[in-house]
Structure 1
Amino acid sequence: MTDREQDVLRAASMYYLQDVKMEVIARHLHTSRSTVSRLLKRARETGLVEITLRPSSTRAPSLGRSISAAFGIDTYVVPVPDSGEPADTLDQVARATARLLASWFDSDMILGVAWGTTLAAVSRRLPPKATHGSVVVQLNGAANTRTSGIEYASDLIASFGSAFGATVHHFPVPAFFDYPETKQAMWRERSVRRVLDEQARADIALFSVGSVTGTVPSHVYSAGYLDEDDVELLHEQSVVGDVCTVFLRADGSWQDVPLNARATGPSPEQLRRIPRRLCAVAGDNKAVPLLAALRAGTMTDLVVDERTAARLLEIARGGGPRGRAGAGGGAGARETSR
């Protein structure tokens, strides 16, 4: 640790753990009270110190315990007022996700990051954390029929690399190929294989769930990634949403959804090989696709707002919309790994 990092740790330990006043800390560190104030601010910004408020009226703790017990994952429920605006809810979930991710990701680790509305919000709330030998890799392609998608995805992924001082690996392929055969050919190219290998070696995957509808629309459904025929096919297949642009039915099945043969994101099966898989969800319109993602076993950790958590449990306890059975559901729906 540098001298400044040691001072940040000492100041934070004395102030938050030992209840020492700032004037006393300043004398102990041979500095000024204003410098101690800046050290404490630095401790909060870097995630060394996390401050959590738990109002007695919130259902968040009990909701989190119920979701964890039901699905065998670690759950972090963000308290939000019932009258809160969707954009505010998204921001609160993004802040919590960013702090949690920064506490886990460290030197010599690989972070796989998807893209989308929620992940863009997380990228804007990342606290800076210096790491060494770390890598951030894009999990799914971003080009669509309207644009290359490169600027959007590159800026998002680069934000994670900048926050952690990590090397960045972009994935310059379409979000969806026109033909499955094209994807199969591209997956044999060495430049693509190199990115796929980095994805497979990831220690942490960060993603959200996409919903076909919603007040804050999922990026894949609102930015030209699907044409009318694609959307019609999704409805015919009873698709409720996606994870990393891989489409899911309500029962968690995905393998026989035709569009998935053209998708460039990791399948639930591939995601389950990554030790820690963090999903961030904001907005109760995503409760149904979130339940599908849980049934597909895609995540080990979940950050979700209070209203969505309550809606998720309501659907799950009522039997929930299960969709039609498919090749991807069943055993994988309850599989988890740490």
Structure 2
Amino acid sequence: MSRTNELRMITRVAQMYHLEGLKQSDISEVLRISQASVSRLLKRAEAEGIVRVSIVAPSGTYPDLESAIREKFGISEVIVADCREDNDDAVFSAIGVAAAHLLEQTLEDGDVIGVSSWSATLQQMLDNIHPIKRVRAERVIQLLGGIGVPSAQIHATQLTTRLAHLINGEPQLLPAPCVTGSPESKRILVSDPHVKATVDQFKRVTTAFVGIGAMAPSQNLIYSGNTFTQAELEELARRGAVGDICLRFYTADGEPLAGEIYERVVGMTLEELQAVPRVIGTAGGKRKTASIAGALRGKLIDVLITDRFTAERLSELT
């Protein structure tokens, strides 16, 4: 067959499949060629540039930004939420809506969901989840201690219990403060049967939703008393800390900062977090750009949900 006739046949097959909507079996019958030949010719149509695929991104979606961050940091998935303003309220709301949609679409029967207690974006996620009826999670595990002043404690435990109710799972609370006075008091605390029962379940988490913290603690943590002193935070910064996940601080390269402070936290460690099959990090805003980048470089998360302004800053990092 001459080159021109070969190209004509490829073009005809592509036309029938892509424009006329015929199935490969129908094309095979009409043209009297095998279905295997139809499949081969369709692949040739793309290779020859006869068929070209273009994606027109709808307004409010950012596939190029998502792709840029995936390639820069080697992360499996990035979700960039549409956001009109670069301020905390708008950013947290947009990320929360996107996180709720992801959970609703990807939750599977028997999932064990871990959730950090003090994240504003995860609180927004909770406020945007519709009750899920199609599947039933096994349980929702609180990954970071939530005991503090009474009103703050209610905030932390409600996040876990409400999420469990929405996804048909059992809540498993972590009845402890997230920061203790010393490593010794932490070791005593985690030997309590109720605390130990939850900590022992960390290894069963199939998906973890975690906030990514900046060096300056959130207002929720400050109000609850579950944070470190300014002097301790300054010492962490001198040692290279850029942010935290579950109050476990790490460097710009995502390396955990071991030491006395690390050993005072009651919650999932970064080593335990990395053993979770899917870790979804939710964060955005100017002050969190460095902490998000550190989490990405250290492969501490598998999925990032952020806003478009933060995504642009991340894509421009060298």
TM-score (norm 2): 0.74
Indicate the structure (1 or 2) with the bigger Cα radius of gyration: 2
Alpha-carbon distance between aligned partners in 2 of 1:148 and 1:290, rounded to the nearest angstrom: 29
Matched, 1:252 2:250: no
Which SS does the other structure have where 1:258 is aligned?
coil
After TM superposition, give the deviation of residue 247 of structure 1 in Å.
1.1
Amino acid at match of 1:161: A
| Aligned residues of 1:247 and 1:257 also touching (Cα < 8 A) | no
Q: Is the 8 A contact 2:78 2:305 kept in 1?
A: yes
What percent identity do the matched residue pairs reach?
25
Deviates more, 1:222-231 or 1:291-300: 222-231
Name stretches of at least 5 consecutive residues in structure 1 with no aligned partner: 1-52, 318-338
Taking structure 1 as reference, are residues 167 and 236 closer, same or farther at Cα in structure 2, changes over 3 Å only? same
What stretches of structure 2 of length at least 5 have no aligned partner?
A: 1-55
Q: Output the amino acid matched with 1:284.
A: K
Partner of residue 308, structure 2:
306
Cα deviation for residue 134 of structure 1 reads: 1.6
Residue identity in the other structure for 1:306: R
2: CA distance, partners of 1:213 / 1:60: 29
Q: Could you list the per-position Cα deviations for residues 142-192 of structure 1 after superposition, in whole angstroms to 9, with x for gaps in the alignment?
A: 234x55843121111112012112110000111111110122233333322
Q: Distance in 2 between matches of 1:161 and 1:133?
A: 8
Match of 2:236 in 1: 234
- Render the CA deviation track for 1:61-85: whole Å, top value 9, x for unaligned: 111111112222211111223x454
Structure-2 residue corresponding to 1:282? 284
Does residue 175 of structure 1 match 2:178? yes
Cα distance in 2 between the residues matched to 1:92 and 1:226: 29
Q: Give the equivalent residue in structure 2 for 1:105.
A: 107
Residue 213 of structure 1 and its aligned partner are, at CA, apart by 4.2
What is the count of residue pairs matched by the alignment?
A: 259
Q: 1:180·1:262 contact (CA, 8 Å) conserved in 2?
A: yes
C-alpha change, 1:244 and 1:120, in structure 2 (3 Å) is: same
Select the residue among 194, 197, 201 that pairs with 1:198: 201
Q: Deviations over 1:94-140 (max 9, x none)?
A: 00101101212232110000022111111111121034362001001
What is the identity, as a one-letter code, of the residue corresponding to 2:214?
Answer: S
- Provide closer, same or farther for how the CA distance between residues 201 and 54 of structure 1 changes in structure 2, counting only shifts above 3 A: same
Distance 1:302 1:149, change over 3 A: same
For residues 74 and 116 of structure 2, the distance between their equivalents in structure 1, rounded to whole angstroms, comes to: 23
Change in 2 beyond 3 A, CA 1:219/1:311: farther
User: Could you report, residue by residue, the CA deviation over 1:204-252 in whole angstroms, capped at 9, with x for unpaired residues?
Assistant: 00011011349xx464356432223323332332322110111122221
Cα deviation, 1:290-320, whole Å, max 9, x if unaligned, reads 01111222111111111111111222x2xxx
- Give 2:73's aligned residue: 71
> Distance between the aligned counterparts of 1:221 and 1:242, measured in 2?
15
Superposition RMSD in Å: 2.3
1:90 to 89, 92, 101: 92
Q: In the aligned structure 1, how far is the partner of 2:154 from the partner of 2:261?
A: 24
Q: Does 1:267 align with 2:258?
A: no
1:136 maps to a residue whose letter is: V
SS at match of 2:176: coil
